[in-house]
Structure 1
Amino acid sequence: MARRLNIIGLVIGTALLLLASPVRADTLEKLVMPGPVTAAHQKVENECAKCHAPFNKGDQKSLCIACHDKVGADIKAGRGFHGRDSAARSRECRTCHSDHKGRAFDIVGLNKEAFDHGSTNFKLSGAHATAVCAACHAPGRKFRDAPNRCVDCHENRDVHKGNLGRDCISCHTPEAWRKAAFDHAKTKFPLTGAHAKVQCSACHPSARYKETPLACISCHGLSDVHQGVFGGKCDQCHSAASWKTAKFDHAKTDFPLRGRHGALACALCHTPAMKSAKLASGCVDCHKADDVHKGTNGTVCRDCHGEVSWKTVSFNHDKDTKFPLRGGHKKAVCTDCHKQDPKKVRLQATCASCHGDADPHKGQLGTACAACHGETAWTDQVRFDHDMSGFPLLGLHVGAPCEACHMTAAYKDAGVGCTDCHLAEDAHKGALGPSCANCHNPNGWAFWRFDHGAETDFALQGGHENLACDACHRPGTEPQKLADACISCHAGDDIHNGRFGARCERCHGVDNFKKVRIKR
């Protein structure tokens, strides 16, 4: 016991001496090191803290993973040997990898004969199970970094030269490289009918598979009896089961076959001379010679004719045109409006286009005849709202017959001024101008009104209010040009003989001329 204490004291004393001396700090680490580390760890041999946590053996694994981060990532992701093996995930690293046993010590400790490759991401099967390790694991390269793609090892033996990509296992297996299995149904071109019996090389020469064209015409171009007229989509009519047995659903085209068309032979429309697969689908393209209208009714024959029989015509003027037939138009025959060989296909829908010659107004009231006339009869129930014109009818005008103002059927030329009709009744002989409505109203010529204050610049006040009009507006004078100066009417009453000027209102008022006020 005493000897043991002495040894411990000696070690502690030596350590204290070393710490107090200028000797390098790693001397103590070398002193307590159990042995040299493996060659892979030689660079950190003097840094014990890189691998050992002070006074804590349990934390050593985290230090290992800190350096071997790829292994740590495998454990975390559950991949690779360390991630897939339960012991490698749960135990401390030192359980399998111990150190301080010399530079040449194999710290990995891999038993190649007993190693289960199934614990890795690449399970060995077929020919891979008999391959030597060095065939895939090159010297100086970590086992976990060995490639696992087919092309990494077999690229030089790829007869397809990369044209089929790098997913070799879609056709080849590790059991036998030459026995390739390929499911053509998983491609863009499943093999059906006669294609299933064709040799691969018939379509894929020189192992060039990936860029093989898929269009029928790329293989069958020379056997196309249509010489390309119908395009390259042969499968619209032909099938892979039998090239000669053709079927075609005309209903899927822009021209479904109905009526008489369904019984016609293909060659009747699709002639050998045609240069395009797409025929024109207009009726006149085939029936132009049968058109008795000579093109005047356009090219849409089916508006009237059907496909069952050309002569059976159906046409609803009310639904098929913008001019429904009503009243007298129902009794008219087609040629009354649609003359033989008309210059225009579309007739004008205005009354004047047919009834222009019968217009007594000579076009002065426009072409909207329906505003007054009806379709039942031209002369019955003629309606016209004079209020919608430029001359609404008021007072006595309402009961006046049309011809009292409209001397002829050319109604538009009738004047709207009072003097256009009442000139002979003008008692003023034109002295007050043509605007009779300023005083008179349509209810009666004798009912007149005139507000001198509102209509003129000379309001009547005082003695002027009761004067007769002709007291100022004498015959022969123009009423609009009367002067408003006192002297223009009262010159004969001026006892001053003009000595005080023409401004009488400075002294005299309009109530009484004799009442004088003198402004000082």
Structure 2
Amino acid sequence: MFTAISPAIAGKLDLILMPGPVIEGHAEFEEKCESCHETLKKADQVERCLSCHDHEDIAKDIETGKGFHGRLDPDQAKNCKRCHTEHKGREKDIINLDSESFDHNQTDFELRGSHKALACQLCHTQEYKKYSQAPSLCFDCHESDDTHQGKLGEECDTCHNEESWRKQTFDHDLDTEYPLTGKHRDLDCKLCHADEHYKNTPKECIGCHLINDAHNGRYGRVCAKCHGTDEWKELVFNHRTDTEFPLLGRHKDVPCDTCHKKGPFEKKLGKACFSCHEKDDVHKGRNGEKCKDCHTVDSWTKVKFDHGNDANFPLEGKHKDLVCSACHRSVAMDDLEEAECITCHRAIDVHKNELGEDCGYCHNEQGWNVKLFFEHDITRFPLIGIHSVTACESCHLNAEFQQTESACLSCHEDDEPHEGRMGEKCGECHNPNAWLLWTFDHDNQTDFPLEGKHSEIYCEQCHRTDLTVHKQSANHCYGCHRGDDIHRGGFGRHCDRCHSTETFEDPVIR
């Protein structure tokens, strides 16, 4: 039978059974086995380890589930000697930390970004007795790296992350009341936050851009009404929707100062053309103030007034090149109620009103003397033959057309080769196609048909005097051939008894 062992004997027995020396940190307890062990009660071993004042923080981590030990499997967390074995000698490292395989993510400080590549001793220095005592705040390690010199506080992770100091995570759009847009996104923080003062930074444009105000304050302090953050020169002010005067045509390219000369835009300007362009009015007020009736915003010289539709008088030919004042001499432009040629051209009517007032009957807008058209055939003298292509002034030597004579000789007296011997009725022989194409038929129009040699002689050989006398000329041979009679009248005057019109030399006695 076994009997109970006294504490004194048990203590000596523990020393006899001790497997080896403890580490230097536990040396003071080496002969006090009861400080860590209770004889024959291994189940209490973990509680004794954790109750040690040097391991109280580990016990708390296990209880709260924090730190490395708090994240271990519960069975493993309650079996300390599974990882930490004692009695292996004074120099033995019972922590057994393998820096190559240790998973730092199982601690309260997950290694991310540039921290992953750091050597353990850079953070876990001799200053800290335990690994768990190493600081976890950025400022604890990086105070000497703080370029802000503490002005922005100690919460570095508000702007920075573990990847790089220069890669900022601060979101100006979400973390402040002033979202960065346009060109503001590319600016260095110091340009707005001088000397690292971030609080009370002005949010109005003029707070930073007063020195850039090209208007020198004349247009007020609310720059955003016209300008955006993308580009100063790209105006966001919409003259079409924000005012009652849309900018159209050339107005789009005009600088604001051209119209708004005296300060803030709130001062309303006149919307009528004349309010700005009175000094540009080449009509000097004669055409009134409704410029847009004729002109457009695209160009002063491009007139939109349609004289044909708007005034019922299409401008054609030479009329297109005239200035308005050439016809309209009053301011109201309504001085010409009648759109007749004679209304404007009476003073230059070379016909002296003899031909009436319907100038368009002969003339057109291309020019007074260009492409004249007159139906001459309805007059007493239809134009036939060469007359149809003869210039008017060849016959009409002045503008009094109705007084022009219609007889041939009134125009052709200088062209008449007969010197008046044939009378004035040229048309009895000649026609308008040509002088040489004469059509007088001696056989049918006289009592003396031309036969034989008579058909080959010129008129003047027989008709040597005035045509009136010619008509009374003898129609027998002796009347013309008395001087040719070799018989000297011995056979009488009836030459045709022996001779013919073919020849005198071969007489035929009948």
TM-score (norm 1): 0.39
> In terms of Rg, which structure is larger?
2
TM-score (norm 2): 0.39
